[in-house]
Amino acid sequence: MRMFKYRTQTDMVHVPYKGAAPAMQDLVGGQVPVMFLELASGLQYIQGDKVRALAIGTSKRSAVLSDVPTLAEEGVKDVDVFALQGMVGPAGRPPAIVARLNQELSKALANPAVVEKFTDFGMETIASTPEQSKAMARAESERWGPIIKANHIALD
C-alpha cells in the first residue's frame, strides 16, 4: 500500500492488523473497502469469489490469476511489490555449508512437485545464489528508502 500511495499520491489510511486473517475477515465483511495482500493469504478468498482481485502488484501477471492485470497495465507505473521468502542463517557460517545449503535448496526449487505446491499458494519459485539475494536485498532497501522516510516509518 505504501508504494502505491507514494507513486500515485493517493490518500489512503493504513489500518494495522495482527495478521492477514483478521484483515481478510474485515474485507469480506465490508469493514474495509480495499486492501493489499500477498496471494498466499488471499488466493482462497479470490478463487472462492469472496473478494475480487483488482490488480497484481508485481511486474508480470500471476500464473495462478492470469486474468488479473498488473498495476502497470492499469496505468500505475513503478509499483512492483512482492512478498519475498528466503532462507537465512547466522552470519559467519562457513562458505562450504552455505554453498551446500544453496545447492540443495536450488535442487528442491527445481522439483516440479515443489514448484506446483508453491504455485497452488500463488507463489513463484526463484532460485538464487547468496550473492544475488544480498544484491536484491540492497536494491530493495534503496528502492523503499524514500517511502520509509516519506511515511516516517521506524522499527518498534
User: Residue 149: what residue type?
Assistant: K
**What is the distance between the alpha carbons of residues 100 and 102, in angstroms, rounded to a whole number?**
5
Residues 6+ apart with CB under 8 A from 23: 15, 17, 32, 35, 37
Q: How confident is the model at residue 107, as a pLDDT? A: 94
**What is the distance between the alpha carbons of residues 106 and 114, in angstroms, rounded to a whole number?**
11
Domains of the chain: residue spans and CATH: 1-83 (3.40.190.10), 87-156 (no CATH)
Q: How confident is the model at residue 94, as a pLDDT? A: 95
pLDDT values of the chain reduced to their tens digit, one per residue, 156 residues: 677 877 788 888 888 899 899 999 999 999 999 998 888 888 889 999 999 999 998 888 988 899 999 999 998 887 888 778 888 889 999 999 999 999 999 999 999 999 999 888 888 888 899 999 999 989 988 888 888 888 788 876
Report helix, strand or coil for 60.
coil
Residues 6+ apart with CB under 8 A from 55: 68, 69, 70, 71, 73, 74, 76
Q: How confident is the model at residue 46, as a pLDDT? A: 92
Mind giving me the DSSP string for 61-81?
--STTTTSPBTTTTT--S---
- Nearest alpha carbon to residue 63 among 142, 126, 14: 126
Report helix, strand or coil for 126.
coil
Determine if residue 122 is left, alpha or beta; phi over 0 gives left, psi from -120 to 50 gives alpha, anything else beta.
Answer: left
Q: How confident is the model at residue 156, as a pLDDT? A: 65
Q: How confident is the model at residue 12, as a pLDDT? A: 85
Q: How far is CA 126 from CA 56, 89, 132, 140, in A?
A: 18, 19, 11, 16
pLDDT in tens, 2-39: 778 777 888 888 888 998 999 999 999 999 999 988 88
Which three three-digit cell numbers place residue 44? 482462497
